[in-house]
Amino acid sequence: SIYFAIFSSHLTYGSIIWGQSSSSRNVKRILRLQKRALRIISFANYRDHASPLFKNLSILKIFDHIKFQNILFVYDSLNNRLPAILNKLYTYSKDIHSQNTRDASQLKLSLPKVETSMHGLNSIEYQSIKDWNKMIDENPPLILQDLPRSKIKTIIINYLLNTYS
């Protein structure tokens, strides 16, 4: 409760905007602060490995928190829960071409063509599609966009927490 009251609210605010670049020096600094906060809250030694703490407390690392926000953003867009201009941001692979490809049958989204890192590879659109498609790859029987929002939040958190050792 202490973590979510003090630390998490600051991480969540705008993280989908400022956290897209995984090489960002600031995001790495935030991860170090996040690990330190978890060690203090759980009374762990300052040298203890942080991943088990994250998993036991069901808290996402900052990079995974950004992935969580990205996937929810895609979900909200596909279910018309965002402003009208953002609801048309994503296109299914099956709508791009007529062949029945693996991506089309799994309801993956089509990645836009990009030329730059700053405005292309690190854009919210590109990164959120990448995170969405990766989650679909690792949970193939799920049709994520048809699930209720509370259920998809649980699925995403469990999916991301299972990557921790």
Q: What average pLDDT does the segment 137-158 reach?
A: 83
Give the confidence band of 14 by pLDDT, cuts at 50, 70, 90.
confident
State how far the Cα of 87 lies from the Cα of 141, in Å rounded to an integer.
Answer: 24
pLDDT digits (tens, 9 = 90+) for 96-139: 766 676 666 667 888 888 888 767 888 889 999 999 999 888 87
pLDDT at residue number 69: 94
pLDDT digits (tens, 9 = 90+) for 79-90: 999 999 888 888
pLDDT digits (tens, 9 = 90+) for 151-163: 989 999 999 999 9
Please give the DSSP secondary-structure letter assigned to residue 109.
B
What tokens appear for 13 in the block? 């605010």
Closest CA to 72 of 21, 147, 123: 147
pLDDT at residue number 50: 94
CA angle 65, 68, 71 (to 5 degrees): 155
State how far the Cα of 52 lies from the Cα of 56, in Å rounded to an integer.
Answer: 6
pLDDT at residue number 3: 84
Q: Which residues contact 7 (CB under 8 A, 6 or more apart)?
A: 34, 37
- DSSP letter string over 10-70? HHHTTHHHHT--TT-HHHHHHHHHHHHHHHHHTT--TTS-SHHHHHHHT---HHHHHHHHH
pLDDT at residue number 103: 60
Length of the chain: 165
Q: Say which residue, 147 or 72, is predicted with more confidence.
A: 72
pLDDT at residue number 102: 61
- pTM assigned to the model: 0.88
pLDDT digits (tens, 9 = 90+) for 30-58: 999 999 999 999 999 999 999 999 999 99
